Amino acid sequence: MAMAAGTVASTGAYLLQFPRTLTALRNSFIPTRSFSKLGFHPLRLRTTAPVRKLQVRAARTDSKGVSLGFRAPHFELQEPLTGKMWTLEDFESYPALLVMFICNHCPFVKHLKKDIVKLSNFYMKKGLAVVAISSNSKATHPQDGPKFMAEEAKLFNYPFPYLYDESQDVARDFGAVCTPEFFLFKKDGRRPFELVYHGQFDDSRPSNNVRVTGRDLSLAIDCVLSGQPISLVQKPSVGCSIKWHPET
């Protein structure tokens, strides 16, 4: 049987030499109308593949295990931004103290950061003392170390001292396990600070569409500053686990 060069004469279907372009492929293999029957266009072959979206999810940890009435433990920590040492005694003259365990990298903290600053500014003018502490290991998370803490405090204009708990002893003393985690203490006269609220900022999370309001924490602070008992249900704060040193 005689054959045309480079073709199978009996079928007229395939080229033995592989085409170098998509257009040549279309002209040699399949009539244009066949592409439309198959449901795709020859020039869109490379663009119709599904696009995979990268989703970064942080491991969630809930605050728990600390009983109301718990007395604020002593601490003495340095503020990287100023170099000043702060202790619990620096806040003894205030009627209430909010201690927040936060860090730089955690998506849950980033989600609330600007609103934490707004809430702190608002209530510090009403007499609330506020302090933030990072206890994350700089060995595993250098972005949470003192140098970057100072930059963060300056960038977001933190109105409260942002202290570094390098030994992680303060986190253990408080029973802190996640970031963000909120401890609200009240003080009656000369009595020690006592825990009255250990719950969430509000219902908003990075993964939901709930607007950030600070409702839960705001209601608790309002009650403390007005001398009223806190009646709302205390939902645990949800965030990233504290990054403990590798050897612990």
CATH classification at residue 190:
3.40.30.10
The two most distant CA atoms of the chain are separated, in Å, by 110
Answer for the pair 176, 242: CB distance below 8 angstroms, yes or no: yes
Residue 107 lies in a domain: yes
The pLDDT of residue 5 is 43
- State the pLDDT confidence band at 247, using cuts at 50, 70 and 90: confident
Asked if the model's pLDDT at residue 100 lies above 70, the reply is yes
Residue 247 lies in a domain: no
Q: Judge if 184 and 212 occupy the same domain.
A: yes
Q: Which domain holds residue 39?
A: 19-52
**If residue 134 lies in a helix (H) or strand (E), which one and from where to where?**
strand 128-134
Q: Judge if 233 and 132 occupy the same domain.
A: yes
Residue 25 lies in a domain: yes
Tell me: the pLDDT tens digits for 138-147? 999 999 999 9
Residue 85 lies in a domain: yes
Q: Judge if 88 and 187 occupy the same domain.
A: yes
Tell me: the pLDDT tens digits for 148-200? 999 999 999 999 999 999 999 999 999 999 999 999 999 988 899 999 999 99
Number of domains in the chain: 2
Q: Judge if 147 and 180 occupy the same domain.
A: yes
Residue 8 lies in a domain: no
Tell me: the pLDDT tens digits for 29-86? 444 444 344 343 443 433 433 333 334 344 566 667 688 999 999 999 999 999 999 9
**4 by DSSP, 3-state: which?**
coil
Q: Judge if 152 and 35 occupy the same domain.
A: no
Q: Judge if 32 and 94 occupy the same domain.
A: no
Return the minimum-mean-pLDDT range out of 4-18, 93-107, 208-222. Answer: 4-18
Q: What is the DSSP letter of 103?
A: -
Q: Judge if 48 and 149 occupy the same domain.
A: no
The pLDDT of residue 211 is 96
The pLDDT of residue 231 is 87
Q: Judge if 101 and 165 occupy the same domain.
A: yes
Q: Judge if 186 and 87 occupy the same domain.
A: yes
